[in-house]
Amino acid sequence: MPNICEQTTTHPQYTIPYRVLSQYLPTRERQVEVHATPQEIQQLVNQGYLVLESLLNAEGLAQLRTALDEIEAMERQDKDVTSGGFGGLFMRHLPDKHPVFTQMVKFPPTLSIARAVLGPLVQIRGFSARISYPNEPNQEVQWHIHQQVISDPLPPFFVHPHGLDCLIYLDDLNDANGPLCFLPTSHWNTRYHTPNQDREEKPGQVIVRAPAGSCVIIHSNLWHRALPTTPAGTKRRLLIITYTPTWMKQAPYGVKPQNGLTQELLQTGDEEVRELLGLGGYT
């Protein structure tokens, strides 16, 4: 089976030579080959989002669909997919559950962009999936952000919670399947807030439509929502890889398998792998 990291359409565009100013980290020089242009990275910083259409080739897309379908078959039966403001089936800790997702611990297109905006010391805070269904009610997601820890007023030494969410769509992102909607630049507005269960249209909102295999990268505090998957659409499968600095806590969602596939990586993997899985990268 080909490695999923090789089944993409992107290539490095420029290099960032980082030097980590630490006496204790074993590797202080980090070369990052960024799979985006400097202009695309600047758009991500300023606007809070970047759309990479058709990131995966046909073979890579098929691999990911098959792997996710296998996990779905094991986890769907006992779960309610119609509840609250977050409809659909959520599945967590994917690298512990299937070798195809284990390969994506070092997925170059998204990892390199995360390092371009967050620095060289990043971890995978979470690796999840959401599936929405055409014949189930409430297959949408309310307006929300992912790091709701902003204080009002802001303390003098408040640390803004920067993170990056990479949304990889395994099915077409269109009106029938439920497109993505977000508010550009809202990641900079720390005082913006909407009530719980809010699904209303907002001034300045952008709706993204893209073919299967595309990736939408957003700042974790960009306000966004998913429009509903309709009976006219198909099952919509989405992967969510979240990157944060290495010193942030891991995501609290889901139950990590005790004997998951990443346990071996933690024992045998190199420094970079251990860092990405939450061990190291800080002193």
Q: Mind listing the pLDDT tens digit for each residue in 207-231?
A: 999 999 999 999 999 999 999 999 9
Alpha carbons 20 and 28: distance in angstroms, whole number: 5
3-state DSSP call for residue 162? Answer: coil
Q: How confident is the model at residue 14 (pLDDT cuts 50, 70, 90)?
A: very high
Q: Which of 19-23, 159-163, 238-242, 251-255 has the highest mean pLDDT?
A: 238-242
pLDDT at 166 over 90: yes
Going from the C-alpha of 43 to that of each of 170, 176, 192, the distances in angstroms are 24, 28, 21
pLDDT tens, residue by residue, 95-117: 999 999 999 999 999 999 999 99
Q: Could you give all domains of the chain from N- to C-terminal order, each with its CATH number?
A: 7-247+262-276 (2.60.120.620)
Closest listed residue to residue 222, CA positions, set 192, 179, 178: 192
CB-based contacts of 21, cutoff 8 Å, min separation 6:
28
Range in 42-56, 226-240, 262-276 with the lowest mean pLDDT = 262-276
- The answer to whether the beta carbons of residues 68 and 207 sit under 8 Å apart is no
Q: How confident is the model at residue 50 (pLDDT cuts 50, 70, 90)?
A: very high
**How far separated are the first and last CA of the chain, in Å rounded?**
38
Residue 183's pLDDT is what? 98
